[in-house]
Structure 1
Amino acid sequence: MDLDRRSFIGGMTALAGLASTPVLSQPMRSPEPQRYPDSAWKVLDKRFNKYMIGNTPLQRQWTGALWAEGSAWNGVGRYVVFSDIPNNRQMRWDEATGRVTELRVPSNFSNGNTFDFEGRQISCEHSTARVVRYNWQGEPEVLAETFEGKRLNAPNDAVVHPDDGGIIFTDPGYGSFWHYEGNVRNLELPASIYHLDPKSRTLTKLTDEILKPNGLCFSPDYRKLYVADSAPTHHSEPAQIIAWDLADNGRKLTNRQVFATLEKGFHDGMRADVDGNIWAATAFGGEGIDGIHVYTADGTKIGQLVMPEACANLTFAGKQRNRLFICGSQSVYTIYTAAQGAHRS
């Protein structure tokens, strides 16, 4: 059928009007309903009941990563930054909208992220073997890349002490073993834990008496340091969490103790809650093990969050720091808890 010019213009105007009309979002097809409490909760000790919420679900917020890592909460921006290491990018989950977007591409295959007490992001880079801090213009400033004239292995995870802003980071070398997560090179230094003075840029080795120092966190009062030893990736020893007492605002470690031992799989990123419990991301243990393991301050495992994917990291998010944000292998998840994170990020 032929259309004259007036009819054509009128039709286009009508279409334009439709295009400018707000479109209500259509309801998504819901997954099969699941009865509360969510089956992710696993109680091993009645003390864990205190931290469970029976009417909250484990929610998969996004999928599309190859290996999600390095989550850190920014309370001012209300977002979590995390790394998708093999895809060489940093991602941003927005609490207000639930959207995940790219934050930095490329990221130098960054792994662990945190924020200092002035709100600046600190990142551990694999491919460049550096610890960097993003300034107020968003540009990275190199804080550490060598120790005693030798290149760092591949900094992994970092935490910041509140008294003087000192940074403690682990350097196991995982970004040096495959091009998949960095680039292949010979390690020049033993796997170690370091203290970094960000003002003087002085780097001090705290210890190399740990096989594969990985994720780390402080106790709520900053008097202890917990570090995951993911030894089974390259050694025959089991995975452990090692604890030290801190002296001189984190410049010295004393009283080394084995806090926990994992028979299968390994712990990675960790966070403490205000009661002193340690929430440890767990990977490569298989079904029923992968997820989050929760230990009391005396090292007793009291519960788990059993996840459908291996988990590398976690952080407590939200204004009350009661929403656990979890980095699965390819996805990120959230679940509300009755626990409260001890620290800001």
Structure 2
Amino acid sequence: MDCFEILDPRFARLIDPVAFLEKLHGENRWAEGPVWFGDLRCLVWSDIPNDRMLKWEEETGAVSLFRGGMENPNGSTRDRQGRLVTCEQGGRRVLRKEMDGTVTVLADRHADGRLNSPNDVVVKSDGSVWFTDPNYGIISDYVGRKAAQEQSGCHVFRLDPATGELTVVVDNMDMPNGLAFSPDESTLYIADSGWLTDRSAPHHLRAFDVEGDKLGASRVLAEISPGIPDGLRVDVEGHLWVSAWDGVHCLTPNGELIGKIKVPEVVANLCFGGARYNRLFITATTGIYSVFLNTTGVRYASALN
């Protein structure tokens, strides 16, 4: 219980009174992009500055290299066929690892220019791929490859699964970052983490109405403090679990902060997993943490998750 901060009685029923925060692994340089493989009973995540993805096995606790030689991998997800989709921040592209081990480039350019540095990604039930493209990976040689920006701004994109067409769905955010659909996919939540590099910029979540292959009206759902919102996930009841500098914040669908999971390192991202999908895995700077909850995450993609 020491890891939980209950700010509203509604949070108490989402946590287990005997659960605790576990540290599964350390020694990352900047851990990000966790994704659960239910069929393999393992967690895969990115260690961005070290150009690699690592794997933790649930049955043994062993950690090993999942994939090396990458260009600053960041957020990942699985599509409806169970294939891994990854934002390669330094490579300025979105990749899909096929079942035979080959790699397909899903997106690397738009409007005659290279993408900035794809950050996080989610796959909708229709197979469309939605991802954010801030410029973090081209303003630094630490988490990317420093380079000139070729896009007109930092956008959110949708990739059509049938045609491969890449379209801008949001063009008015400072630094779009983590994103997640509501359980019924009627809302897309997107983090704006512009405050990280510009203290006059936002550090909030926006909620967008989903209108088929486009986004409609939006509203600021909540400001995240301390720090910025980065990665986020949604549970089956619609609660948002959002990364922050003091841990993971739990918000209602209306944006009310009802509780926190306190983590001793700055949290970058998170995902649900485990045999019952009630285990929250957290990537936090150098460490990988987990905690069991009294709720389950939305399984956006394949049942293999």
Give the corresponding residue for 2:268: 312
Give the corresponding residue for 1:152: 115
2:80 maps to a residue whose letter is: F
1:183 maps to a residue whose letter is: R
Q: List per-residue Cα deviations over 1:247-290 (Å, max 9, x = no partner).
A: 11xx211111101012430011000001100000113xxxxxx1
2:281 maps to a residue whose letter is: F
- Would you say the 8 A contact 2:89–2:137 is kept in 1? yes
Give the corresponding residue for 1:74: 37
| C-alpha displacement of 1:76 | 1.2
- Would you say the 8 A contact 1:41–1:304 is kept in 2? yes
Give the corresponding residue for 2:127: 165
Q: List per-residue Cα deviations over 1:3-26 (Å, max 9, x = no partner).
A: xxxxxxxxxxxxxxxxxxxxxxxx
- Would you say the 8 A contact 1:238–1:262 is kept in 2? no
TM (norm. structure 1) is 0.85
Pick the structure with greater CA Rg.
1
- Structure 1's consecutive aligned runs of 4 or more residues displaced over 3 angstroms after TM superposition are none
CA distance in 1, matches of 2:218, 2:174: 14
Return the structure number with greater helix share.
Answer: 1
1:88-237 equivalences under 5 Å are: 88-162=51-125, 164-189=126-151, 190-235=153-198, 236-237=200-201
TM (norm. structure 2) is 0.96
Q: List per-residue Cα deviations over 1:175-228 (Å, max 9, x = no partner).
A: 111111111001111100000023322100001111100011110111110011
**What secondary structure is seen at the aligned counterpart in 1 of 2:106?**
strand
CA distance in 1, matches of 2:187, 2:16: 28
**What secondary structure is seen at the aligned counterpart in 1 of 2:297?**
coil
CA distance in 2, matches of 1:256, 1:174: 24
- Would you say the 8 A contact 1:143–1:198 is kept in 2? no
Q: List per-residue Cα deviations over 1:118-165 (Å, max 9, x = no partner).
A: 000000001210001011121210010000111100000000011x20
1:331 to 279, 283, 287: 287
Asked if 1:291 corresponds to 2:247, the answer is: yes
Asked if 1:41 corresponds to 2:4, the answer is: yes
**What secondary structure is seen at the aligned counterpart in 1 of 2:162?**
coil
**What secondary structure is seen at the aligned counterpart in 2 of 1:311?**
coil
| C-alpha displacement of 1:56 | 1.7
CA distance in 2, matches of 1:313, 1:166: 22
Q: List per-residue Cα deviations over 1:57-108 (Å, max 9, x = no partner).
A: 2110000101000011111111111100001100111112122211011122
- Would you say the 8 A contact 2:44–2:54 is kept in 1? yes
2:103 maps to a residue whose letter is: P
Give the corresponding residue for 1:256: 218
Runs of at least 5 residues in structure 2 that lack an aligned partner in the other structure: none
- Would you say the 8 A contact 2:132–2:178 is kept in 1? yes
- Would you say the 8 A contact 1:272–1:343 is kept in 2? no
Runs of at least 5 residues in structure 1 that lack an aligned partner in the other structure: 1-36, 284-289
- Would you say the 8 A contact 1:153–1:172 is kept in 2? yes
Asked if 1:242 corresponds to 2:191, the answer is: no
CA distance in 1, matches of 2:218, 2:202: 17
**What secondary structure is seen at the aligned counterpart in 1 of 2:13?**
helix
**What secondary structure is seen at the aligned counterpart in 1 of 2:230?**
strand
> Which fold has the larger relative contact order, with Cα–Cα distance below 8 Å and residues 6 or more apart in sequence?
2
| Identical aligned residues as a percent | 38
Give the corresponding residue for 1:52: 15
- Would you say the 8 A contact 2:225–2:244 is kept in 1? no
1:341 to 290, 293, 297: 297
CA distance in 2, matches of 1:320, 1:158: 23
